[in-house]
Amino acid sequence: MREKAAITLTINGRDHPISVEARRTLADAIREDCGQTGTHIGCEHGICGACTVIVDDEPVRSCLMFAVQADGKKIRTVEGLADGEKLHPMQQAFMDHHGLQCGFCTPGFLMLAVGVLEREPDISDEDLVDVLSSNLCRCTGYQNIIKAVRAAAKEMRGK
Amino acid sequence: MSAPGRKQATKGSGLTWVGRSIRRLEDPALITGQGRFTADSPAAHWVRFIRSPVAAGQLAKISPPEGAMVITAADLKGVKKITPMLHKFSYKPVGQPVLAEGVVRFVGEPVAAVVAASEEDAEDIADQVDVSIDETTPVTDAQAALEASAPQVHAEAPGNVILEGKVKTPDFDAIWNGAHRTIRIDARSRRQNATPLEARGGHAAYDPSTGRVTFTCTTQMPHLTRTAICDVLGFPESDLRVIAPDVGGGFGQKMSLCAEYIVLVWLARKLKSSVAWTEDRRENLIASFHSRDQYITLEGAFGKNARLLALKADIVCNIGAYSCFPTTCGVEPLMAMAEMPGPYDVQQYQCLARGVITNTCTMAPYRGVSRPVITFTLERLMDKAARAFAIDPVDIRRRNLIDKFPYKSAMGLEYDDGSYKETLEMAVKAADLPAFRKRQKEALAKGRHLGIGIATFSERTGYGSPAFAARGMEITPGWETVILTVDPSGFVEARIGSSPHGQGLRTTLAQIIADEIGVTPEMIKVVHGDTDRAPYGWGTFASRSLVISGGATLIAARKVRAKLIKIASHVLEAAAGDIVLADGLAKVAGTDRTIPIAKLAREAYTQTHRFKGEIEPGLTETGHYDPPGTFSNACHIAIVDVDVETGHVKLEKFLVAEDAGRIINPMIADGQVHGGIAQGIGNALLEEIIYDDSGGILTATLADYLAPTAHEIPPIELHHMETPSPNSITMAKGLGEGGCIGAPAAVINAINDALSPFGVEIDEMPATPQRIRAALRAKEKAA
């Protein structure tokens, strides 16, 4: 249990060679070993989705994945969404539509929505609500998150 | 600047910043992962708390593994107990040891703290600590705790009653006895957890050069956290800096003092190092703070015309094992007692409100505090009365809502101007009641059970110090201070004692300031959540910050404005009355003479010799505000579809007509209402902390304690009225809690409407599928 494995996490295009115990979750490794604290931990049992990141193009709950399982895989986190100063359409839409209040769940929602829309750009409104119900937000009542994601979906399709 | 998707504000658009849906100044950091939350900082030492696995018992022995650092009560010599105080209502002060001392009183109570180099190490060691407890019989239910044979949770509170409020208006008996009929409800509200997405956590760092500790924690009240920790540990407040960085939701759970935080600061001072703790979700669900575990029996005496003449309430609140600091456990029972008559014109009132101690997690405020429960109870009563009088639920409310202001309640509270009847009519019209009734009838013919539920309520907000003093609180919050500076660079900084954590106060206060001093909100930084940087204040809770901190901001901004005008009149050699501040400039009206406000600010510091001693140097002004309190109001309507085979409730639509006085930023205001409604829907249908008979918690994960997802929240349609408040200098009223106050009542009334063909009534929250099916089954059996 206490033995450490040398792995490399590739986060937002940058390699982080780290050494972790087999039991270390991807969420903890991203935050503590790689210093990327934009990914948040809300429950550590896979319900709230605050820790959602994109691993090899799929949104995953990083509290339910071990860091060693992500060795060599491409990981995207909220810190990598914007292109320099230019916000990702999803980030812009969350600002425009007041899709966040305290901001704790926001990185997870952003990565969930971006991951799903990249995979399924033409997802129906109904299925989108279904997908967004994977994550919890305690502040917004979801109204503006749904609005923001629908607006960003349009914007992303337009490109 | 206004956000798309929302209609433009009609008032002041283009002329003022106030009233416009500008984007939040808070957002850029939060959407790029640059927010800074408590758990984001590394520490030299990590703490894992060992918690009592049993609800009641004598703590016999704690045996740590060899070499481990495990702190227990025995180590905390000289550390006082947390003993919040009320000076009224037969309050029995009970002390809470920071770590359990000899006795454990609830599952989850911290009994020891393991200190190690990492979180994993601390958890591994905690698993090896042997805690031996001689179990005794617990009592977890408030009614059971009132029985003569019940175990005593604290020797200081015989009979387990820690507080008892009683009122009776002088003419109560005469009016009650002369009434046409009485209607009664026995309401039950089950226990909840506020469940902020970020659980609790703290990081205490000792600075050897100054001897000070910087304590970063996820709190709604940084200054009072400092005061409380220094009181308990006995050292000067100047040696403690408390920082509330980005805080991931609070909803009241983060306003009460956590025993765990005291241990962290104590350890940082002892180890002369940094010490951190991040609460996990299980700890949060079992051991942070709970709320709303209440029984209310409410009876209304009505005249022949269905006018409510008198109310009689018996309120029993389960306050858990200890009294929370700073509000004390009076917060639920005393608020319920004071505000039970709600939005109705009823002048005769009798109430007995008791706080009852049990072997459960301590109760503390959760958004709305008692008002979701009393509104649910009162609105159920009104619906029952409407049925008894064979009149429409809308009609009984029309006959009883307050419509003359200011109105003095039976409890002596003064309600400022509101729109109780107008919002009812607005909501009912928007819901198109006749069309719904037709649709409901058609659906019923096809075996579908639709229902509509109405809730009207008033919401006391912006509680000033007299409101808290009326409860006899030793610590009486209420006022706020704002220090506003235009610095020599021409940029503006407002340092505030409130401590927002998602409410958008950095934006709304900037809007207020921008209008007064003629600069854009982007030039204004609102600084909060740091006892070294912000003036003493009470933080953010109870729908207070925009009213009270907003008022103090306006006062400070008016002073800065006056000073800018004075300087401009010197510099531009014009009469003060001719100076206009706008668009970043001071202008002489009717001329082309202008000077940038930034230049005036620079001169306030660097050219004071020119003012010949007539203007004090610098450009900093302070505003204090302590309002009398103001009442928002709203009408909520829920439309539900109840599957009587499974007990599942689907919300079709939720509709609100609300009035919170002048709205500073409509987009932010709507967001507050949306979020409150979602929590209210959770309250009505899903969320319940369940104890088993031995005092163990059955709902210790988010798979058991069900916060609503996007699936459960229907489209919410909002309608607004703006009745400016004479009791608030910005004319704004608070609206942070209203959503969750009205929603449970509307949803439960809608369920009852849907079930009316069966003659079944549900007077319990949450109305889970199991409870709905049980009620239907009981009816079937009886038939």
The residue type found at B173 is: D
Chain A closest-CA separation from residue B597 CA (Å)? 30
Is the CB of residue B503 less than 8 Å away from at least one CB of chain A?
yes
Tell me if B464 sits within 8 A of B628, measured CB to CB: yes
CATH topology of domain A89-157: DNA polymerase; domain 1 (1.10.150)
Residues 211-270 of B with CB under 8 A from A: 246-249, 251
Strands (DSSP E) contained in B32-180 are: 45-51, 57-63, 69-72, 103-104, 110-116, 130-135, 161-168
Is the CB of residue B335 less than 8 Å away from at least one CB of chain A?
no
CB spacing of A140 vs B711 below 8 angstroms: no
Q: Identify the pLDDT of residue B628.
A: 92
Chain A closest-CA separation from residue B503 CA (Å)? 6
CB spacing of A102 vs B675 below 8 angstroms: no
Spatial separation of the C-alpha atoms in residues B338 and B313, rounded to whole Å: 11
Q: Identify the pLDDT of residue B13.
A: 39
Beta-carbon contacts of residue B475 (< 8 Å; ≥ 6 apart): B84, B85, B224, B325, B326
Q: Identify the pLDDT of residue B104.
A: 98
What are the tens digits of pLDDT across the range B52-87?
Answer: 999 999 999 999 999 999 999 999 999 999 999 999
CATH classification for the domain delimited by B479-625, as one of 3.30.365.10, 3.40.50.1370, 3.40.50.150, 3.40.630.10:
3.30.365.10
> Which of A98, A100, A110 lies nearest to residue B3, judging by beta carbons?
A98
Residues 48-77 of A with CB under 8 A from B: 48, 50, 77
Beta-carbon contacts of residue B257 (< 8 Å; ≥ 6 apart): B82, B224, B225, B228, B229, B324, B325, B326
Structure tokens at A64: 């339910």
CB atoms within 10 A of CB A19: 11
Q: Identify the pLDDT of residue A1.
A: 54
CATH classification for the domain delimited by B294-466+628-782, as one of 1.10.645.10, 3.40.50.300, 3.40.50.720, 3.30.365.10:
3.30.365.10
Is the CB of residue A33 less than 8 Å away from at least one CB of chain B?
no
B546: region left, alpha or beta (phi > 0 left; psi from -120 to 50 alpha): alpha
CB spacing of A96 vs B502 below 8 angstroms: no
Residues 78-97 of A with CB under 8 A from B: 78-79, 81-82, 87, 91, 94-97
Q: Identify the pLDDT of residue B9.
A: 35
Query: ipTM of the predicted structure?
Result: 0.98
Taking the CA atoms of B233, B234, B239 and B244 in sequence, report the sign of the dihedral they define.
Answer: positive
> Which of A91, A105, A146 lies nearest to residue B32, judging by beta carbons?
A91
CB pairs under 8 A between A and B: 180
Spatial separation of the C-alpha atoms in residues B738 and B367, rounded to whole Å: 9
The reply to whether domains B45-136 and B479-625 share a CATH topology is no
**CATH number corresponding to B194-287:** 3.30.365.10
Structure tokens at B746: 């509307």
Q: Identify the pLDDT of residue A158.
A: 85
Is the CB of residue B125 less than 8 Å away from at least one CB of chain A?
no
Per-domain residue ranges of chain A: 4-77, 89-157
Is the CB of residue B658 less than 8 Å away from at least one CB of chain A?
no
The angle, 0 to 180 degrees and rounded to 10, between the axes of the packed helices B666-685 and A143-157 is 120
Is the CB of residue B197 less than 8 Å away from at least one CB of chain A?
yes
CB spacing of B709 vs A77 below 8 angstroms: no
**Residue range A63-68: mean pLDDT, rounded:** 98
Residue of B nearest to A104 (CA): B248
Q: Which of A143, A149, A154, A155 best tests the B interface by mutation, with the highest count of B CBs <10 A?
A: A143
Chain B closest-CA separation from residue A94 CA (Å)? 8
Euclidean distance between the first and the last CA atom of chain A, given in angstroms as a whole number? 47
Q: Identify the pLDDT of residue B472.
A: 87
Q: Identify the pLDDT of residue B84.
A: 96
Spatial separation of the C-alpha atoms in residues A10 and A36, rounded to whole Å: 12
CB spacing of B5 vs A44 below 8 angstroms: no
Per-domain residue ranges of chain B: 45-136, 194-287, 294-466+628-782, 479-625
Query: Which residues of chain B fall below pLDDT 50?
Result: 1-14
| Cβ-Cβ contacts under 8 Å, B705 against chain A | none
Nearest to B310 by CA among B140, B177, B401: B177
CB atoms within 10 A of CB A58: 12
> Which of A36, A103, A137 lies nearest to residue B30, judging by beta carbons?
A103
The residue type found at B474 is: E
Is the CB of residue A39 less than 8 Å away from at least one CB of chain B?
yes
DSSP at B760: -
3-state secondary structure of B413: coil
Q: Identify the pLDDT of residue B7.
A: 34
Classify domain A4-77 by CATH architecture: Roll (3.10)
| Cβ-Cβ contacts under 8 Å, B707 against chain A | 136, 138
Q: Identify the pLDDT of residue B8.
A: 35
Peptide bond into B744 cis (omega under 30): no
- Residue A159 predicted with pLDDT over 80: no
Please tell me the class of the B45-136 domain. Answer: alpha beta
Q: What angle do CA B403, B407, B410 make, to 5 degrees?
A: 115
Is the CB of residue A142 less than 8 Å away from at least one CB of chain B?
yes
| Cβ-Cβ contacts under 8 Å, B198 against chain A | 40, 42, 102, 104
Is the CB of residue B196 less than 8 Å away from at least one CB of chain A?
yes
Tell me if B248 sits within 8 A of B198, measured CB to CB: yes
Beta-carbon contacts of residue B255 (< 8 Å; ≥ 6 apart): B219, B220, B221, B326, B327, B364, B365, B539, B541
Tell me if B360 sits within 8 A of B142, measured CB to CB: no
CB spacing of B31 vs A78 below 8 angstroms: yes
Structure tokens at B352: 């007995």
